[in-house]
Chains A and B, each alone.
Chain A
Amino acid sequence: MKKLKLGGYLPGDSLIHRLDPRTKLLGGLAIIITILAVNSWPVFVLNTVLIFLVVYLEKIDFKAVLQGVKWMWMIILLSFTFQCIFVKGTPLVVIGRLIITREGLYLGVLTFLRLLILYLSSTILTMTTSPLKLASGLEALFSPLRYLKVPVNQLAMLISISLRFIPTIIEEAEIITKAQKSRGAPFSSAKKLVRLQTGMAVFIPLIVGSLQRATDLATAMESRCYTGGSNCSRLKKLNFGRTDLMALALIAASCILPLFCFHGRFWQVPR
Chain B
Amino acid sequence: MPIIEIRNLSYVYHPNTPYEKKALDDISFTVGKGEFLGIVGSNGSGKSTLIQHFNGLIYPELGSILVSGQDTRDKDFREQLWKKVGLVFQFPEKQLFEATVFDELAYGLKNMGLAAAEIEMRVDEALKSVGLEPEQSRKRSPFSLSGGMMRRVAVASVLAMKPDILVLDEPTAGLDPEGSSHILQAIKKFQQDKGVTVILVSHCIDDLILLADRLAVLDQGKLLAWGLTRDVLAQENLAQYDRLLPDYLKMLFDLKKRGWVINTGLLTVEEACQEIAKILRRDGT
Chain A residues with a Cβ under 8 A of chain B: 1-4, 10-12, 64, 172, 175-176, 178-186, 200-201, 204-205, 208-209
Inter-subunit contact A208/B83 (CB<8 Å): no
Inter-subunit contact B13/A2 (CB<8 Å): yes
A72 vs chain B, min Cβ distance (A): 20
Q: Please, how many angstroms separate the alpha-carbon atoms of A12 and B17 in the complex?
A: 11
Taking a contact as CB atoms closer than 8 A, the residue among A10, A178, A184 that contacts B111 in the complex is A184
Inter-subunit contact B89/A11 (CB<8 Å): no
Q: Is B52 an interface residue (CB 8 A)?
A: yes
Interface string of B51-63 (1 = CB under 8 A from A): 0100101000000
Known: A181-B57, A183-B108, A183-B158. A200 touches B86 (CB 8 A): no
Stretch at the interface among B91-99, B196-204, B257-265: B91-99
A183 vs chain B, min Cβ distance (A): 4
**Residue numbers in B under 8 Å from A64 (CB-CB):** 17
Q: Please, how many angstroms separate the alpha-carbon atoms of A205 and B104 in the complex?
A: 12
B126 vs chain A, min Cβ distance (A): 13
Chain B residues with a Cβ under 8 A of chain A: 13-15, 17-19, 52, 55, 57, 82-83, 86-87, 89, 92, 94-97, 107-108, 111-112, 143, 157-158, 161
Inter-subunit contact A180/B112 (CB<8 Å): no
Q: Which residue of A lies closest to B154 (CB)?
A: A179
Inter-subunit contact B17/A179 (CB<8 Å): no
Q: Could you list 9 A-B pairs, sorted by A, with CB under 8 Å?
A: A2-B15, A4-B14, A10-B17, A10-B18, A64-B17, A175-B89, A179-B87, A179-B89, A205-B95
Q: Please, how many angstroms separate the alpha-carbon atoms of A208 and B57 in the complex?
A: 24
**Residue numbers in A under 8 Å from B161 (CB-CB):** 183-184
Known: A179-B89, A182-B87, A205-B95. A4 touches B19 (CB 8 A): yes
**Residue numbers in B under 8 Å from A176 (CB-CB):** 94-95
Inter-subunit contact B112/A184 (CB<8 Å): yes
A64 vs chain B, min Cβ distance (A): 7
**Residue numbers in B under 8 Å from A201 (CB-CB):** 97, 107
Q: Please, how many angstroms separate the alpha-carbon atoms of A204 and B94 in the complex?
A: 10
Number of A-B contacts (CB under 8 A): 65
Inter-subunit contact A184/B94 (CB<8 Å): no
Q: Which residue of A lies closest to B55 (CB)?
A: A182
**Residue numbers in A under 8 Å from B83 (CB-CB):** 184
Q: Please, how many angstroms separate the alpha-carbon atoms of A4 and B20 in the complex?
A: 11
**Residue numbers in B under 8 Å from A172 (CB-CB):** 94
B76 vs chain A, min Cβ distance (A): 13
Describe A's contact surface by its main secondary structure.
helix
Taking a contact as CB atoms closer than 8 A, the residue among B52, B94, B111 that contacts A205 in the complex is B94
Inter-subunit contact A183/B107 (CB<8 Å): yes
Q: Please, how many angstroms separate the alpha-carbon atoms of A4 and B89 in the complex?
A: 24
Inter-subunit contact B94/A209 (CB<8 Å): yes
**Residue numbers in A under 8 Å from B108 (CB-CB):** 183-184
A1 vs chain B, min Cβ distance (A): 8
**Residue numbers in A under 8 Å from B94 (CB-CB):** 172, 175-176, 179, 205, 209
Q: Please, how many angstroms separate the alpha-carbon atoms of A70 and B14 in the complex?
A: 20
**Residue numbers in A under 8 Å from B19 (CB-CB):** 4
Inter-subunit contact A2/B111 (CB<8 Å): no
Q: Which residue of A lies closest to B15 (CB)?
A: A2
Inter-subunit contact B95/A186 (CB<8 Å): no
Inter-subunit contact A182/B86 (CB<8 Å): yes
Q: Please, how many angstroms separate the alpha-carbon atoms of A178 and B53 in the complex?
A: 12
Q: Please, how many angstroms separate the alpha-carbon atoms of A185 and B161 in the complex?
A: 13
**Residue numbers in A under 8 Å from B87 (CB-CB):** 179, 182
Known: A10-B17, A183-B111, A184-B112. A178 touches B97 (CB 8 A): no
**For the complex of A and B, 5 pairs with smallest distance between CB atoms:** A184-B111, A183-B108, A204-B97, A179-B95, A182-B87
Q: Which residue of A lies closest to B13 (CB)?
A: A2
Inter-subunit contact A183/B157 (CB<8 Å): yes
B58 vs chain A, min Cβ distance (A): 9
**Residue numbers in B under 8 Å from A208 (CB-CB):** 97, 143
A207 vs chain B, min Cβ distance (A): 10
A189 vs chain B, min Cβ distance (A): 10
Inter-subunit contact A185/B111 (CB<8 Å): yes
**Residue numbers in A under 8 Å from B92 (CB-CB):** 179
Known: A3-B14, A175-B89, A180-B95. 4 other contacts (CB 8 A): A176-B95, A179-B87, A185-B111, A201-B107
A6 vs chain B, min Cβ distance (A): 13
**Residue numbers in B under 8 Å from A200 (CB-CB):** 97
**Residue numbers in B under 8 Å from A179 (CB-CB):** 87, 89, 92, 94-95
**Residue numbers in B under 8 Å from A10 (CB-CB):** 17-18
